[in-house]
Amino acid sequence: MIVRSRSEPAPDLAERLDRLARLRSVVADNEERFRQAITADFGHRSAVETTIAEIMLVFSEIRHATKHLKTWMTPQRVATALQFLPARNRLMPQPLGVVGIIAPWNYALQLTLAPAIGAIAAGNRVIIKPSELVPHFAALLKEAVGEKFDAAEVLVTGVEDEIATGFAGLPFDHLMFTGSTRVGRLVAEAAGRNLTPVTLELGGKSPAIIDASADLDEAAERIAYGKLLNAGQTCIAPDYVLVPERSLQAFAEKVRAQMRRMFGTDPSNEDYTSIVSDRHYARLEGLVADAAQRGAKILQPAKPDEPNWKAHRKFPPTLILGATETMAVMQEEIFGPVLPVLGTRDAAEAIAFVNARDRPLALYWFGKERSARDEVLARTVSGGVTINDCLFHFTQINQPMGGVGASGTGVYHGEWGFRTFSKLKPVFYRSKFNRLADLYPPYGGKIARL
């Protein structure tokens, strides 16, 4: 554990910019090695997806923080209420101290480093615990960070089981956890014993709602991509689709055609990412088998019995029609390329369906009719929303990323991350001219005069 002196000055702007530049070089000097390490962990990970969804995103966060850090660090003016004038109020950001980051495997680079960027920009020391499911990545990150940083600035731990459980119990000044809702509960409990504040970026079932006014071809293409990026192992992937009953079959056929167009039917397709482990592969097989056994219709763009799917640990994209609420596929987060498509009678039924479940991390709405769109926006609560596409609200650097309820608490990205990892300290500067002393005792009849 990093020991620090409480009176140590916070790193200044130059020091923080230097740390951000060093973090950038951790990635820039090892780009190809990171792509290969992540591929080794997954079995196969599309090199393009590692580039756009991990490396570019980290570069963009660093660029943005570097550009705006001076402004973020400057104490903000806050208005002073009339009765306290003359006086000044400022909100002064200060580092919290040591920030712990627990990350999942699905976007291992982005989900370790994007929180680290916010924490470093805010002047903290950072300790990162990567996932045990990405050992090649974790070893490379540890090595590359070790070359550029003193352990008292940024440290990457090992990934052994006992480190995971012990880590959440350390007395951090802030703990950032990205992962499942189940483990998020354990982490919050462990952190609570130290009164360590937590940011929890969790998962869940994110719906896509197709309105009667939607262009089905457009929606099918965008949902196919949102679902199959990283083979569906994306926290904000559309988990299931609600579509007007009369368009159900036609829409599902269109999604299937788009999946085939984008990722073909050959399991050795370089663009299509493998499932991270045999256990997760078996879990997805179990979800599909359970749905089929209970009478759901399975629709696949490629022949699933081709042996190379399993040999490459690639899961054939799968649409499930007629899924019911009791099927496992509608009860747990799917986290793979399996998409239940459910029919709804009208928009009100779609809204009620979403509201009968935990608040989702993301919600997607497709359509042209503004009033229907605004009705969904007003009557549902989710971590974020993209209208007429999937995933893109996540990539908006000025917008906060975070869930709500069972999908998480707290936010990061850009300035939101800087603020999460800072103590925003209110400071009141009294003026020698103001009349606060009028409030001091003896009170006499003063209250009556206020």
Give the binding site for ligand NAD (CB under 6 A): 102-106, 111, 129, 131-132, 164-165, 167-168, 178-180, 183, 186-187, 201-203, 235, 333, 335, 361, 403, 408
Q: Which two tokens stand for residue 447?
A: 């209250």
d(CA 190, CA 306): 46
Give the nearer residue to ligand NAD in terms of CB position, either 69 or 103: 103
Nearer to ligand NAD, 296 or 391 (CB): 391
State the minimum distance, in angstroms, from the CB of residue 216 to ligand NAD.
27
Q: Shortest distance, CB of residue 436 to ligand NAD, whole angstroms?
A: 46
For residue 201, give the H/E element and its range: strand 198-201
Q: Which is nearer to ligand NAD, 161 or 305 (CB)?
A: 161
Q: Which amino acid is at 115?
A: P
Instruction: Name the amino acid, one letter, at 250.
Output: A
CA distance 72 to 122: 9
Q: Between residues 32 and 161, which has the closer beta carbon with respect to ligand NAD?
A: 161
Of 20 and 235, the one with the shorter C-beta distance to ligand NAD is 235
The angle subtended at Cα 192 by Cα 188 and Cα 195, nearest 5°, is: 135
How many other CB atoms are found less than 10 A from the CB of residue 381?
14
Nearest to 43 by CA among 238, 280, 202: 280
Residue 51 exposure: Cα atoms within 13 Å on the Cβ side: 5
Token pair for residue 99?
């920030």
Structure tokens at 90: 């400022």
- Do the Cβ atoms of 46 and 271 come closer than 8 Å? yes
Minimum CB separation of residue 16 from ligand NAD in Å reads: 24
Tell the smallest beta-carbon distance from residue 385 to ligand NAD (Å).
15
Residue type, 437: A
Nearer to ligand NAD, 132 or 266 (CB): 132
**What secondary structure does DSSP assign to 314-371, as a single string?**
PPPPEEEES--TTSGGGTS---SSEEEEEEESSHHHHHHHHHTSPPPSEEEEE-S-HH
Question: Is-contact 278 311, C-beta < 8 A?
Answer: no
Distance CA 281, CA 162 (A): 25
Shortest separation between residue 145's beta carbon and ligand NAD, angstroms: 16
Say whether 99 sits in a helix, a strand or coil. Answer: strand
Quickly count: other Cβ atoms within 10 Å of residue 74's Cβ: 12
| Bridge partners, 387 (sequence order) | 365
CB of residue 19 to ligand NAD, shortest distance in Å: 23
Nearer to ligand NAD, 317 or 360 (CB): 360
Angle, alpha carbons 270-105-329 (nearest 5°): 80
| Given 49, 61, 153, 201, the catalytic residue | 201
- Name the residue nearer to ligand NAD (CB basis): 214 or 275: 275
Least distance to ligand NAD, CB of residue 227, Å: 14
Query: Minimum distance between the CB of residue 449 and ligand NAD, rounded to whole angstroms?
Result: 54
Catalytic residue at 201? yes
Q: Which residue is nearest to ligand NAD (CB)?
A: 203
Catalytic residues: 201
